[in-house]
Structure 1
Amino acid sequence: MTQWLFLRMWKAHLLGRAVKVTPESFPEIHAEITELRQKLDYHRPVDVYVVDEVNGKMTVTSLLGTRVLLIEGGFAADLQEDGPAALRFMLGNFIGWLKARHGRLTLSVLILDRLRWLTYLVPWMLPYWRCSEYTCDQYGYLCAEDLHASLGVIARLTVGKELGPSISPTGVLEQAHQVSRRPLCRYAELSQAQPHMVNRYLNLVAFAGSVMPSDYERFRTGLDEKGRRLLRDLLPQTPHRQSSGSQHWPAA
């Protein structure tokens, strides 16, 4: 009951202090969200608000029938400047989170935290949370249908909008190669809810090779010789199948 009241007060606060995304307030963002919800076949009500500052640039909450997506205004504007694919990747990422019901553990986590049992169970939940981030990236990519733009958003979230476009894919692949061969790096990831950035980057490249071979091939041919060699080492058995025009959505 307390949590339900808190959510209602929070939504009332947002309605008074933030700007709700509607066809009148933000027509372009609203149109993108509407299109992506249809594409993902997700029809539950979601309140979307634009605010000045958001931890992580965008956040989504799904609890007790309340579904709220918060977008940082400056971040949304930057993505719009980069083209529609970048914004679709981020919006698809979070709508995919709702579609796959990755928030279904939220209430259980709150109860376990209140009972002071959460500390003992978190290590068993971390793999699920890391895998859910990979899945959401895949949803975002299938919505964007652009590997370059999708990887660009991951880079921007890591180093910021000024340096994000200048990140070399070969440099990221070399770093991923080092991480894959250092046990301490792998152990460090086991203790956190989010996967390493380089693993998100590599997962998305591998996924593109599976569902959109032509997009993967454009990425591969754009690499220098060192980058192609690293890619072969990291993804020696990337499946290539002919694109049939149908969408291969991640399993929920």
Structure 2
Amino acid sequence: MIGWHRDGDSWTRRALVLGMAWAALTVAPATLDAQGRRGGGRQPEFADNVPYDGRLTFARIRYTMPDFGGFRGRDLPWSHDYPRGERHFTKIVSEITSARVRTMQSNILTLDDPQLGKYPIAYMAEAGFWVPNEAETLGMRHYLTKGGFMVFDDFAGDAWRNFEAQMRKVLPDLRPIELTVDHPIFDSFYRIKSLDYYHPYYRMKSVFYGYFEGNDPKKRMLAIVNYNNDLSEYWEFSDQGMFPLDMSNESYKLGVNYIVYALTR
């Protein structure tokens, strides 16, 4: 049983545009830790997890890098865009929905962590590097089939092959199904009119996939896959002018829709 409760809060579909929420970011302290940026030369300092208190908390999945010929390197792909990406995103969710959201703190968990079931939504970056062990495979299977929802983000190109291979271990009977714009997840809060999204750097056209119970798109979605995209990159730098405003806005809209869909379906 997933342990998040709305405590009487009702989700309301608000006629707001994300531009109205930008003040929430521009007035945020300029000293937000920027160590999570790619190419920064050092890893971010990972904060201790905060105790579960019923508020919606961003849960990032940590995994161990495979050993490529005895060399793993310093980069930790699972941590990309931490912590700025989730801080900015949860601030937006808090500003434009009625959800009780923890905005300045997020938690990092492994797939075999028994606490994972307390978080209805989990996020994984760079699934092309993800190779779960047996315990993590079983933990993820349990999480998804018991009501959890996973967002896969920040991977592109050939990384798909590893991602799909690992998902076959986790959910051997399920297959990724390409989503079209008429799926309810794209109309759960904002009405997404087009899926013409692109990776922020590679300019590859994004494709969105879902994993569904019984491979039936009319049943519960267990996970959504942002292939050839990197929503959290847009989130991380949304206060820096690194990307056009409309692209950052659209990335927030998708993320908000994922949250609302996962919590209300």
TM exceeding 0.5: no
Greater share of strand residues, 1 or 2?
2
- The TM-score by the shorter chain falls in which range? 0.3 to 0.5
TM-score (norm 1): 0.32
Greater share of helix residues, 1 or 2?
1
Higher Cα Rg: structure 1 or 2? Answer: 1
